[in-house]
Structure 1
Amino acid sequence: MANPISYLKFSSDDGFDDIPVYSISDFPNSPLRIMTSDGIGCINLVPPSLSNSLRVMTDDGIKGIDTELAYSLPALDIRTVVYMKDNKMVSNHNNSLHLSEDGGLTFTKSMPIGAEVGTVKYLHIFSDGTLLFCSNSKGYYSTDFISYTESTILDIDGSPIVLTGVDNLNVFNHDRKTQIVDGIEMLVWGNYTNIAYVPIRVWYTVDKGRTIKIAYEFNVAGSNAATHVHNLIFNSADSSFWILTGDYFPPEPRPQSHFMQCFYDTVNDSWTFETIGSSLPHKAGQMVFYGEYAYWNWDTTDGGVIRCKYDEIGDITKYEQLFQTPNDCLDILMSDKGELIVTQSFYGGSDDSRYIWYSPDRVTFHKILTNPDITWNANTCYFGLRGPNKDGRVLAGIANNLIHTTATWDLTPTIFLDEYVRKAGFPNAFKP
């Protein structure tokens, strides 16, 4: 008999009993195959929800029994997973956030999100398990994944501010590394929007989301111009943060695509910023530091994967294009072994944006057609790649400009791209 993939713990008259689960279909319509006294039988969750009780469907109808679920909630529709790091995954489903700590096999905690939050635009789990999540204009933190508290938002000078409107705290891409400066775990990010009146800022927290403060603001006196922040990346080798912005539409009075290097002073709670470059070659959404090189996606027509020695990143004549994507190159992800996944947008060319590329060595790039189970059209693409996690999974968000705006997209649906890479003939891709 096959090994069970999970266990449900049900209360009984003499304590808790483990019931092994052998298969789970996509949530929310989740028939479970379980071991019963006379073999493997089926039950259905009625209603399809993640409450702490289950009503079970039997052959002769719904029995009026509520069965206590002590742990190991059934696996959710994997397309609702919006965060992944190490063994942790978070699903955004049915106005709740759901936590898995075993790579998505089971989701053991469920936290309802109230109407006051609205759409969850960004979330992050710190090393101690604290969750930070943000809506369009507010931040919240939770230390137990049961309840949450609103964060305090501070201006550059430390005074409280109230954010209004949309796209204040969301992101386009995100850093995949833990950010630690002088022993303090931080989180630094910048907001993304295409709405002209939304302030463009770099945000940071040094207390795991209890306070969120502005580090830098674009489009004000003495600062750079930018339509939005594409990403903010941490380099642990020198404790620097790299701000990547866009867009670049020449001719324009001031460039908007920048590489900015910045450092945080933990003693004085202050920042220093240096603009390394401002031009079309600096239009990027992701940067990876590997060995003595920096790699990034050149997000433009005829763009692709760019490499440069880290200490020469200020000299555009040193930029080396390793690979050109047919459309604008939207994102790259690199494993600790140096493998790459490359995605493209629907801009800049006529290639199907479902195509991705896998490179095991950063030299040869293999084109792979993905086929997600969603309606895909010319305005759909992958971005916001996460991973690889400890199981070698690579998560990607799916966005459609005809359906979502940056203000309404709730980070779903999502897809695991590593599955397509393995099916294409690379069974060990991204495996530890």
Structure 2
Amino acid sequence: MRQRRINLLMVLCSLVGGGIGFAVGEVLLASFSGEWPTWLLMGLYFGQYALFVGLMCLVAEMISPRLNGSGWKQRYVGASWKMLVPSTFLLIGVVAMLLQFAYGSTFQSASSSNNIVMLLDTSGSMNRSDPDSRLFPAAADMVQKMEDGTNVAVISFNDSTEVVQPLTQINGQAVKDQVVQKLREQTGMNGGGTDIDKALQTALDHLQASQKLANSTVVLMSDGYSRVDLDRALAPYKQANVVIHTVGMSAIDADGTQLLQQISSATGGTYFDVAHADQITGAFGQIIELTRHERTLVSPRSDATESSTLYAILRVVSLIVIGTLLGLALGLIFDNRHLAKSFTIGGVVSGLLAGLVLEAGFIGGDLPAMLLHLLAALLLAVVLTLFTLLIPVTIGTEPSSFQRRLSRSKALPVHTGDGKANSKRFDL
């Protein structure tokens, strides 16, 4: 007998599980992005998410066994608990690692390059902050670490600005050496005041003139303070999603430090505080790591693959695979092939919807990433639990092989799917 059933408590609990998995996942992203390998981070992200969804669905069916029957609850819920972690956290976590590894790989040549503009303070106060003239050599070291294909420009500023190095593509060691040599020649030239507002405007004008505003990063190093109308100065940067990383010296000027922190925070950048000028090289090295775009399954693409159809398909397919395995995992937990079929088909649909939400949301750019993560997590969790209304579940089936293994050495009542039990011995 085949029936269409639904466990409304499971639907509700799946939403709760998806919400918990989303919250834990956001903590993982905030705490370890850039520190852990992306494949490991995505494996943990989706593994723990699947664990919480599976856990809440199992709890719901234990409280109200609408789908698997009361006989399962009485005799085989212990086996379901044993299957919970292997079928969710381990299975989906490992597969998510493999999917992220594929998604993070480069399958097509870049159609555009990263653009990095360095704004370097050469005001008179730098004679005290940087007596050994470490700033430009530190910038030269940063250029040495840049990958081929990166466009780099260097602008010095005090009361006025000077384009030391126009935006140039790093294409081979010879070009890199030329830029480095020019930077190493810029020492002992400090004087005048500090005009950060003019420096930001010059960088913006230079990027716009080069038609390279998109996919750009600005690195601003200063030891001083100046008046800046942040709303006006940063509006075009924020509109174009240009990140500004800042490096300051709080021991020299606390007001300047606060200004740099506001600039980096407003544009999604990072502020680095250095106690001495010889630490600037290390700060620039960390910024280089931040500018190397790493694609993840749950983040927008900000490199040359931003509008790539191939990577859009890869993301959606990856979410479909994860949704399918999540549905299969629930079938394994309940050890019911009919539920497995229903949940797996539902998982295909839920994964498709979650993938489309992420991809369309990131391309549109109208919603914050965290909200898109939440919508995808809730869809992925709840849609598959609704498919028992569409895919009938067979009632009155023979016990599964897993249940038989549990019963083989003694006569145990075996769940038949309709709430009844028989005491037949099953020996394998």
Per the normalisation by structure 2, the TM-score is 0.27
More RCO (CA 8 Å, sep 6+): 2
Structure with the larger helix share: 2
